[in-house]
Amino acid sequence: MTEVLYRQLADEVARRIDEGVYRPGERLPSIRGLAGQRGVSIATVQAAYELLESRRLVESRPQSGFYVRHPVAAATGEPPMGDGPVLPTTVSVRNEATAALQRCEADGVLNLGAALPAPEFLPRRQLQRILSRLARHHIDEIVMARFAPGLDALRQEVVKRLADAGCHVSPREVVITNGCQEALNLCLRTVARPGDTIAIEGPAYVGLLQAIESLGMKALEIPTDPRDGVSLEALALALEQWDVRACAFVTTNSNPVGASMPDEAKQRLVAMLAARGIPLVEDDEFGDLNYNRTRPRAAKAFDEHGLVLYCSSASKSIGSGLRVGWCAPGRFENDVEFLKSFSSVSSPPICQMAVAEFMASGGYERHIRRLQSAYAEQVQRFIAAISRAFPRGTTVTRPRGGYVLWVGLPGGVDAAVFHERALAEGIGVMPGHLFSAAGGFRQFIRLNAAVPWDEAVETAIAALGRLAVETAGTLRS
Ligand SMILES: Cc1ncc(COP(=O)(O)O)c(C=O)c1O
């Protein structure tokens, strides 16, 4: 019996279980029967079934054979709407969030915490070719920084991407930034001052919370539906009650809950804010990554008054290490450009040139289509594994794009304790309270599914499912 053979057989059976060919509670083919059918030894099938048993996919029943395990979890429900206090709050996630992300990144840790795609999903070969050609032929441009607003060729490509999202802006209205994070920072600084209140989703992208904290602003969490995004009814009430200086929302395939506001809601949002003269900082970081290949419109598409400051980047599709992002800040273009020049001068020319060339080559569209399918498959596999391994009562989001999952743990699990125990087993996850200014969502974790699916990931999810049982009751009220 070769090791390769029984592992291959185990993977094949695991795939069939994933696809529902063998259903929970069903008996697998007998060892003797499968050995005869596949022309392999009985020992090979026995070893394959035992491997599946150690992965908690199947269980052996004495004198009866191997059966597909019933999912321990009924991870079918979606988490409820955020119900944190609608009250402007001073944010203080800084040290804890950075430390959590750094610990997830440490050597020897399987990083399911940071929302970064693994290199395997990125166009590494194309970039290698483009970067070495640029280094050979364009060294003079590469060594010279140019002041904002950024490389014309890239701004032209960005305008095409914006047009796909229904936004008609000219290259002159685009400012290139160091990733979407810098775009968010510059836009917030442009529209608000320290002490001002920014309405955000609940739960919100942790980097947005950190930006708000670093700028001395306050956050007002608006309840957010994991499917349709921020509640416009709750937002309308909050705007009546509080002096909100700006809103900052991820409008499509949000992080962490994977929500997408329907077009009609985006339109209503933009109109509601325009009526009050309130700017919207729109984070469209995952907008290109819908699984069904449609490109949802951005809220910016409905902006008639230049009040939407659109932000995005190449980080989730081409590579976050390039630090290439952009914003289309509407009527605030001059201010954002000024702040960009005097905060980081310019984004590295070689990175801007590489992204522009990749986008112009037509390779970007092909790559995005591949990514959409790859991320959809990853997310499906993660959800299937979570529903097998996690306890009954677990909830998990069903995103329609992107690659992050928001998992609700039953039984009074404190996700901060869960995070520590997971790290001790070499697995990085992000605890939910770091996505909240008000310290809510303590029973949630966020998982990054853009990590190539393999046995180590499957084993890690099984371990997380066990930890969810072991840490029940750790939450103190
Ligand atoms: C919603 C969202 N916005 C912005 C960013 C920051 O992206 P970048 O790496 O381009 O700065 C991230 C990164 O995780 C994100 O998830």
User: Which residue's CA is the nearest one to ligand 1's atom 7?
Assistant: 180
Fold of 122-364: Aspartate Aminotransferase; domain 2 (3.40.640)
Question: In the chain, where are the structural domains located?
Answer: 2-68, 91-119+369-470, 122-364
Task: Give residue ranges with CB within 6 A of ligand 1.
Answer: 115, 179-181, 205, 207, 250, 255, 283, 285, 313, 315, 320, 325
**Tokens describing residue 247:** 């809103």
pLDDT digits (tens, 9 = 90+) for 136-183: 999 999 999 888 899 999 999 999 999 999 999 999 999 999 999 999
- Phi, psi of 215, rounded to the nearest 5 degrees: -95, 5
The secondary structure of the chain in percent helix, strand, coil, rounded to multiples of 5, reads 50, 15, 35
C-beta separation of 25 from 60 below 8 A = no
What distance in angstroms lies between residue 117's CA and the mean position of ligand 1's atoms?
Answer: 11
What pLDDT shows up at residue 17? 79
Give the helix ranges, DSSP H, for 70-119.
94-105
Edge-to-edge strand list for the sheet holding 395-396: 395-396, 404-408, 444-448, 430-431
- Highest mean pLDDT among 57-61, 104-108, 393-397 belongs to 393-397
Fold of 91-119+369-470: Aspartate Aminotransferase, domain 1 (3.90.1150)
Give the helix ranges, DSSP H, for 311-362.
333-344, 349-360
pLDDT digits (tens, 9 = 90+) for 253-295: 999 999 999 999 999 999 999 999 999 999 999 999 999 889 9
Look at residue 452 and tell me whether its pLDDT is greater than 70. Answer: yes
pTM of the model: 0.84
User: Which residue's CA is the nearest one to ligand 1's atom 13?
Assistant: 115
What pLDDT shows up at residue 74? 37
Give the helix ranges, DSSP H, for 222-286.
232-241, 263-276
Bridge pairing between strands 325-328 and 175-177 = antiparallel
C-beta separation of 266 from 227 below 8 A = no
Q: Which CATH class is domain 2-68?
A: mainly alpha
pLDDT digits (tens, 9 = 90+) for 218-242: 999 999 999 999 999 999 999 999 9
- Residue 75 pLDDT class (50, 70, 90 cuts): very low
Give the helix ranges, DSSP H, for 391-440.
415-424
What distance in angstroms lies between residue 159's CA and the mean position of ligand 1's atoms?
Answer: 19
pLDDT digits (tens, 9 = 90+) for 283-328: 999 999 999 889 999 999 999 999 999 999 999 999 999 999 999 9
